[in-house]
Structure 1
């Protein structure tokens, strides 16, 4: 540990001491004659241990029985179906060859973003993925947590920065692992879709042993899933969705390609003459691939792309506790998970990167030279000769937690204390295995005539000479020291005032470095990122539980954060819980939360993507499809070290009503107001700086019309904000019969009233009910148990929403409802066998006009009917 780290750690420990509370080194001896103590537990959302599970903040608890009954095969599938999940939730299904986080999964509570949802493992932080989602969204890859190791998942549904710090704007997902299992349990499963692709196999082993002095649990997990291609579903096998009433999103870069007269400078600079000459598709362009204007020879990339990449995961978790004193326990957690995905994409496209000079040997005596004698030529052309792009994405996650906890005497009271060290590391690699082409090599091959762009086939030796293997390496590390204590302060007339106080020191670092060819811009047609950064953070927090009257309790919390890179932040929270009578409880909370800019957003180097954008400058002047259609544009993104933290104010007001011992419901109104939103927006750049060369590089033009877009330059900015509110309704009913068994029914419903997107100019756009923002999501459940047989059913509903108005689409995206069902038999000693079907009726995802696959991957699933068989044997 370096001196700076040691000084800051000392500051953390001194801060705890500065509270004026003296902790005795000797624990209070247990009084053998006293009555048995009621165990106090720490619930998600509070650092103060209490005697019951119900606190002032709304928490959705999902135990291992709920997980099994849901039919989810992994944690990402489970969380994606929750009613509180929203836009920004993604899984491996949503990734493709151009994604920057292939193989990863995350949840976005309330649709506020995966980076605004804090994910904890046993109450402590997990290192974020080394590869951010869509360049800048930092997230914890929930695929790094094996579902077989999960005891319970607590989802805190209000802002929690006062309790847990940064990233808890929308809430917290706290994954609790099994640590007290005794025995040996083996589980295995097989599964497959009734469509093509998606076959799965899984296996897990859990062993535990211990006594009153200590306990050890070991969990090993293996999971394998076969790929699903877009071509495996009728509705997504073509990027031309016009036959279904959608858009033709086939690429403007095809093979045969489209050729454009140009002037090539001595330095290789390209000036097109597309305003003077008509673009000329190769005369061999097959029928059906020409655009409506006859200028572009298109290419259908959809059949060559992964819808769900093939995935293989393996991991181990070890949890250990040992009593080292009468009231002191040493605990340790260690885990390692390796995930591997194979991602496939279409062949690399070029957009005017390459050229043939007038004297090029491949141009001589051709139809193109006859049409444009003496002209240099540039082109849009797909390198199908190399085959599709394929890369392997490998993620390795490791984590170690070491600490002590116990009970200490402070005056006449007992205080719980805990201190720990956490090391969490994520390492990501991507290996380009096929279809990646070096720009300089192919341009040289074009110039010497060995690669003929006017031919659709090339000698294999030439192809081998231009293709390269690429690499990308990322690392993300979090190291933290934490200490806290909680207990009773003093008595007042209404009860006892309790307090928790603590501190944390955390170091974070990350790097995302592609190989030198990417950094030199020498790999074309493929997105790349480069970023690096590090920081440290110190936080102090305090929390009080104050009884006002016998039935009313206040929670007061405050957390101070000091970041080395952007400054300080203080987050308060006030919450209450009022037991109006024995059946009705009212709860409410108000708090401020924040999200520190991610290290990627602060330290991103030049990163490239190719979003589909319209050119708002040239379109009104030319009317050309190449200007007015949303086609691929090269965008160069960079980080911004001057970013401010995102801030949020949230409140929640709810009612819990237990009508009977078996019937209860809760209703909560929630609201979030987020400002200083960190975002990238190339459309904003084009609309506001479309003719400024500092923001938009254009080709030279020999006319008064600005040249075509070459590159767009965008950087992260604090632009506007978002505001959302709505209602959660949870209903649970249990019915026990004498002969028909026990029944449980439930429903979790979320209604979004408003989801306002607020621009930097203060313009408010309510997205509730708009594209990718359904107003309603709900899940209904029914569980039944009779003797050795049990069965479960889940109904998952997502309401309709409007087509993408930003792409000028009208109409609605239909609602989607799926049914998941399973049945289990327990009649064989120590054995459980489960047969289940997800999406029982084989519902297809609702049609979307503006996506190349014809549906909304962020909201709907294309898995189709999925049948699985699982078995568990306990020794």
Structure 2
């Protein structure tokens, strides 16, 4: 169970906030002239030395402020991150390969990996989440309501010298609206084909002489959307473990009289003599693999062009009976998200302030899947004694019981995150009288944050299925640990039989309207008796979808940190500033697996074990800023972090040179590092997943066509992983020509050189490179008929069985290189009494060299799908934003472009089609009205032209493209002082 009760804690925050606001009179906004305002120096993202403006930094930084957020119609922080051109791809959305559950979102600067971007909330770390491959990342959906966001600032070069591990690609800092005063509320919704969204958010703020604070609450609901609802996910992606399935006959089949040949009427092949088929093909063995006799597409109603029934291979009646499993699966889950954020600042005296901060997140989601998963972990036996077994011999059954003929199954998942922080800031002038103390300030903070995800993975119980095939199915059938009780009779009384054969799937083949036919009993004379539909579904629920593995993955982070900053001496360009500080982090992770999830009884999911791990990290850092002249300054920072196994010292040097008043050059150089995550390196829990792979030896699997089988992927922890090491530099220029008022241009070249990059081996890469190697486990009880490509792999014997497990591990790779260019050009001018602004933002990836196998080659991944590491890297991401404001009216248009990609799903074959470029256009209009413009009505559309992702193997690039299509929205906001 989740340790922190979100509702109770949120209620406490509400009560505190409401009583605080009620007790403290709202102050009116100051009407002082802006020219009289004193610009206070503050700590900005990318430095611990106080500065007047973020632009004083030499490091490249991207700022998305409150005004831009309102003009572009972002609903949540996920919307903002998805449009960042430097956010090469984002983990978290469901696709046909990952399957579940699409309830989180990450930021991945420069495609360096989701663990290589450090996300801060109000300048502080938060507890991380974990991906399927064990990488840690911050779920940006769990941080704060977008109505509480003042700006989203991204430092676009390595920053380990200041922030420590994980700040390899850069730092994203979400800053709240601390100075907000009054009340603001907004409600809205989106119309999405086959889905929808609605939201409600509000913020309350107060400002006093010795206090200030805000309380923000947000709620968002997203409707469920299935693969069947989009053309690019409604594809015939088949599984070799299909419905009704494939049977391996354990003996020579005969007719009911035990003497005559067995002749069955099949829909696909007409009359088939299975006895003769057995005699002609069994050879020196005793078993024969055949497709279900009633394996044909029309057995179950189709979903558009995708067949609902079985799909036999060309060898029918031999071969496999495959079927698709995707139409019922979710693209996006049904999801309810609650967010609370509050920060209060209290002046304890004239020198000291206490800031108290809380954020809370609660998610409840429902994801749908096909009725039951395939039985890849074992093949139940349909005994000859089963009255509806047409072969009259035992058969080993490979398939899934509940295919597309049956309703979808639902998976419930919960997420919970909390963060508590207290920060004490003050002036040294309170304690010291020297001149130096007048500029030096300090900050001490302590926080506790937690991120927990609890979910279920429903699965068939192989033992329960076997009992039902033997005639002992049903909740009231007394089946004990050692088998059925002596008083139980197969298929009678409280016990029921299960038939997996296609002929018994539906009462009327081709329609679900008349009900199902797969559960039955027999009377004393051996006659088959079918129960009512409610009883039939009860037996199926009890014996097929009989169990659910529950997982609770909880992370906690406790941080104590502090720093001091102030002036040292006067230089030619101003005061030399410095900062020194420390940080102590306590990371802890615990995975709790329910009992069923630890067993080998699951038909599809992999056995997992509970476990925990943790570590402590101590960091110290120092920073110096030296303005040598009015036009030239240097900034130097260094940080040392110590772990139990290793330590790292990382410097950073930044230079800024003003060539002219309107032209500035800047450059940064530094090193960064990232320690392995707890999931990758420590703890007694097992890390595994199920993924679709393609066996190059199996004649019925085709990687290029995405025809494969979901298999168990075991990921071994590696306690000897070394931290990633990176050297990066950035060279940039900023130009704001006086001759062209309103024009600004920032262009930067970035370069990262990695060593010891931590990656999980690609399961498909391992299987493709050595399909009979030590990392591949194959079934030794059966064989692949007509196995192919055996001569290409010396390790393979002449007879091989199906792949059951692919074992991969984490490793430190060789060098990886990333380089490219960021461009941000803006222009503003007055037009027809209003203000017109244009902004063009582009990221061009020149180089992305990546290694996916331990000891394998380094390949150029820029402009490629990169199926192995699953990080698509388009060469160009570009946004063009036009905005026009006049009086109460505001118009906004945003065009977005993502360049095409070459597909490498099958080893970069020349015949594989490119993944088309993505173009979308967003439009928004807002109108302010009321006596003091307190009300705002906004209407708009995202992806006006209803651009859909390109259909590719695995349907679409979930990390890059948006599956919703056109989204029409309306929003109403109220803002009161």
TM-score bracket for this pair, using the shorter chain length: 0.7 to 0.9
Superposition pairs for residues 166-205 of structure 1, below 5 Å?
166-193=165-192, 195-197=193-195, 199-205=196-202
> Which residue of 1 is the match for residue 351 of structure 2?
327
Matched position secondary structure for 2:54? coil
Q: Is the 8 A contact 2:836 2:884 kept in 1?
A: yes
Q: Is the 8 A contact 2:160 2:167 kept in 1?
A: yes
Task: Give the deviation of 1:280 after TM superposition.
Answer: 1.1
Task: Give the deviation of 1:279 after TM superposition.
Answer: 3.1
2:452 to 409, 416, 427: 427
> Which residue of 1 is the match for residue 5 of structure 2?
none
Correspondence 1:290 to 2:312: yes
Task: Give the direction of change, closer, same or farther, for the CA distance of 1:232–1:212 in structure 2 (3 Å limit).
Answer: same
Correspondence 1:686 to 2:770: no
Correspondence 1:813 to 2:915: yes
Q: Which deviations, in whole Å up to 9, do the C-alpha atoms of 1:559-599 show, x marking residues without a partner?
A: 100123x3211111111111111000111111111111111
Q: Is the 8 A contact 1:186 1:872 kept in 2?
A: yes
Task: Give the direction of change, closer, same or farther, for the CA distance of 1:274–1:415 in structure 2 (3 Å limit).
Answer: farther
Task: Give the deviation of 1:68 after TM superposition.
Answer: 1.8
Q: Which deviations, in whole Å up to 9, do the C-alpha atoms of 1:655-713 show, x marking residues without a partner?
A: 00102341010100001122222222223443566434565344257884233322222
2 CA distance for matches of 1:441 and 1:365?
18
Matched position secondary structure for 1:441? helix
2 CA distance for matches of 1:700 and 1:602?
34
Larger mean Cα displacement after TM superposition, 302-311 or 287-296: 287-296
Task: Give the deviation of 1:630 after TM superposition.
Answer: 3.4
1 CA distance for matches of 2:555 and 2:882?
42
Q: Which deviations, in whole Å up to 9, do the C-alpha atoms of 1:380-406 show, x marking residues without a partner?
A: 334337743311111111111102112
2 CA distance for matches of 1:594 and 1:860?
30
Task: Give the direction of change, closer, same or farther, for the CA distance of 1:570–1:627 in structure 2 (3 Å limit).
Answer: closer
Correspondence 1:437 to 2:436: no
> Which residue of 2 is the match for residue 7 of structure 1?
none
1:477 to 543, 546, 556: 556
1 CA distance for matches of 2:608 and 2:884?
50
Task: Give the deviation of 1:99 after TM superposition.
Answer: 5.0
Matched position secondary structure for 2:74? coil
1:580 to 659, 665, 668: 659
2 CA distance for matches of 1:123 and 1:275?
71
Give the TM-score, by structure 1 length: 0.87
2:963 to 852, 859, 862: 862
Task: Give the direction of change, closer, same or farther, for the CA distance of 1:823–1:592 in structure 2 (3 Å limit).
Answer: same
Task: Give the direction of change, closer, same or farther, for the CA distance of 1:692–1:864 in structure 2 (3 Å limit).
Answer: closer
Task: Give the deviation of 1:874 after TM superposition.
Answer: 2.0
Task: Give the deviation of 1:436 after TM superposition.
Answer: 3.0
1 CA distance for matches of 2:282 and 2:840?
62
Correspondence 1:342 to 2:366: yes
Task: Give the deviation of 1:513 after TM superposition.
Answer: 2.1
2 CA distance for matches of 1:484 and 1:68?
34
Larger mean Cα displacement after TM superposition, 302-311 or 521-530: 521-530
Superposition pairs for residues 589-738 of structure 1, below 5 Å?
589-603=668-682, 605-616=685-696, 618=697, 623=699, 625=701, 630-660=708-738, 661-681=741-761, 682-686=763-767, 690-693=771-774, 695-700=776-781, 704-737=798-831
2:946 to 834, 842, 845: 842
1:766 to 860, 869, 873: 860
Task: Give the direction of change, closer, same or farther, for the CA distance of 1:308–1:36 in structure 2 (3 Å limit).
Answer: closer
> Which residue of 2 is the match for residue 280 of structure 1?
290
> Which residue of 1 is the match for residue 419 of structure 2?
399
Q: Which runs of no fewer than 5 residues in structure 2 stay unpaired?
A: 1-35, 252-280, 298-306, 473-496, 506-517, 520-535, 784-796, 866-871
Larger mean Cα displacement after TM superposition, 725-734 or 804-813: 804-813
Superposition pairs for residues 210-229 of structure 1, below 5 Å?
210-229=207-226
2 CA distance for matches of 1:274 and 1:442?
31
Larger mean Cα displacement after TM superposition, 683-692 or 671-680: 683-692
> Which residue of 2 is the match for residue 209 of structure 1?
206
Task: Give the direction of change, closer, same or farther, for the CA distance of 1:696–1:109 in structure 2 (3 Å limit).
Answer: same
Larger mean Cα displacement after TM superposition, 408-417 or 69-78: 408-417
2 CA distance for matches of 1:68 and 1:262?
68
Matched position secondary structure for 2:239? coil
Matched position secondary structure for 1:347? coil
Matched position secondary structure for 2:161? helix
2 CA distance for matches of 1:97 and 1:148?
34
Matched position secondary structure for 2:391? helix
Correspondence 1:874 to 2:975: yes
Correspondence 1:832 to 2:852: no
Give the TM-score, by structure 2 length: 0.78
1 CA distance for matches of 2:923 and 2:388?
67
2:600 to 504, 521, 537: 521
Task: Give the deviation of 1:356 after TM superposition.
Answer: 5.2
Superposition pairs for residues 30-109 of structure 1, below 5 Å?
38-54=39-55, 55-87=57-89, 89-91=90-92, 93-94=93-94, 99=99, 102-109=102-109
Matched position secondary structure for 1:549? coil
1 CA distance for matches of 2:498 and 2:321?
20
> Which residue of 1 is the match for residue 500 of structure 2?
453
2 CA distance for matches of 1:394 and 1:334?
20
Matched position secondary structure for 1:56? coil
Task: Give the deviation of 1:352 after TM superposition.
Answer: 5.0
Correspondence 1:143 to 2:141: yes
Q: Is the 8 A contact 1:528 1:609 kept in 2?
A: no
1 CA distance for matches of 2:593 and 2:407?
22
2 CA distance for matches of 1:754 and 1:658?
29
Q: Which deviations, in whole Å up to 9, do the C-alpha atoms of 1:32-52 show, x marking residues without a partner?
A: xxx996411222111111122
1 CA distance for matches of 2:948 and 2:635?
46
> Which residue of 2 is the match for residue 269 of structure 1?
none
> Which residue of 2 is the match for residue 744 of structure 1?
837
> Which residue of 2 is the match for residue 23 of structure 1?
none
Q: Is the 8 A contact 1:559 1:571 kept in 2?
A: yes
Superposition pairs for residues 356-435 of structure 1, below 5 Å?
357=381, 359-362=383-386, 366-369=389-392, 376-384=395-403, 387-409=407-429, 411-413=434-436, 414-431=439-456
Matched position secondary structure for 2:929? coil
Query: If you compute each CA radius of gyration, which structure gives the higher value, 1 or 2?
Result: 2
1 CA distance for matches of 2:182 and 2:380?
71
Larger mean Cα displacement after TM superposition, 790-799 or 701-710: 701-710
Q: What CA RMSD, in Å, does the superposition of the two structures yield over aligned residues?
A: 2.6
Task: Give the deviation of 1:625 after TM superposition.
Answer: 4.2
Q: How many residues align?
A: 802
1 CA distance for matches of 2:400 and 2:184?
56
> Which residue of 2 is the match for residue 506 of structure 1?
585
Task: Give the deviation of 1:765 after TM superposition.
Answer: 0.6
